[in-house]
Structure 1
């Protein structure tokens, strides 16, 4: 039986969590810029469960595909989401999906990483919170430094880039 991944090796690179939310997209863009400046690889991770995974192409009424098919569907969605971010060519980005709870999987995968980057808010929870539960969990338990990229929303509802006010250099 094929096994699905539950940990990622981010040794010597930046690890960033992406759940499909605008905040996590901002975190990936920010982490990609930092990884490029540091000349290190960027590993983008999405965690999943059966309830959050997209339906695999092998799904049919009365048939539940193996977990590896769900894993492949999540990986395909993550790669499409990251490609849509328009990161620079040659950015050294790798995508990996992990089965399990986001906070736990990111903390486990933080061993050996130079930095863990997450958005301040994800897709779940209460909108009024400044920091989501996954961000709070990794800040308290990660094995490497953690950056929580804040979400700043413009009047049109679209997130602004966290570094937009900084001088380029």
Structure 2
């Protein structure tokens, strides 16, 4: 620790294979440097005119449950790496950049592709935006390819 600040890694999680790899890599790196992770998952309220949709609390609750489930799946329930779970309303890139500022992150880790978008693209829109606008180093982690035969 330096001046009371623990090395902090903000990692974006959306449940996609590359975000799970990013979470795994962030936890591994945090273990090497005696750091902590802040796992962020964001949600947006859909704009649907005159339709009944669940309220913001439902979206926040569902997102928190999905984040907890992904953390348990990837890191196990008793992870040795200290960390926090954060659920944010809004665009994922903005949520990651805001968290990096709030926690004075030393590093941001994102998967190269999330859910949606063009699957053939090298970077998704969130990872590309974070790389371009973060005030700290950013690591982009690719999904591990399964080998057959």
CA distance in 1, matches of 2:8, 2:36: 5
What root-mean-square deviation, in Å, do the aligned CA atoms of Structure 1 and Structure 2 show? 2.1
TM-score by length of 1: 0.73
Q: 1:155 to 1:92 in 2, by over 3 A?
A: same
1:14 and 2:4 equivalent? Answer: no
In the alignment, what sits opposite 2:3? none
1:151 and 2:139 equivalent? Answer: no
1:15-94 to structure 2, matched below 5 A, reads: 15-51=10-46, 65-87=54-76, 89-94=79-84
Contact in 2 for aligned 1:108/1:142 (Cα 8 Å): no
Contact in 2 for aligned 1:119/1:151 (Cα 8 Å): yes
CA distance in 2, matches of 1:131, 1:104: 17
Q: 1:69 to 1:136 in 2, by over 3 A?
A: same
Q: After the TM superposition, which segments of 4 or more aligned residues of structure 1 sit over 2 Å from their partners?
A: 62-66, 86-90
Partner-residue secondary structure (3-state), 2:75? coil
* Alignment coverage as a number of residue pairs: 137
Q: Which runs of 5+ in 2 are unaligned?
A: 1-5
Please state which structure has a larger fraction of its residues in helix: 2
User: CA offset at residue 29 of structure 1?
Assistant: 0.2
TM-score by length of 2: 0.82
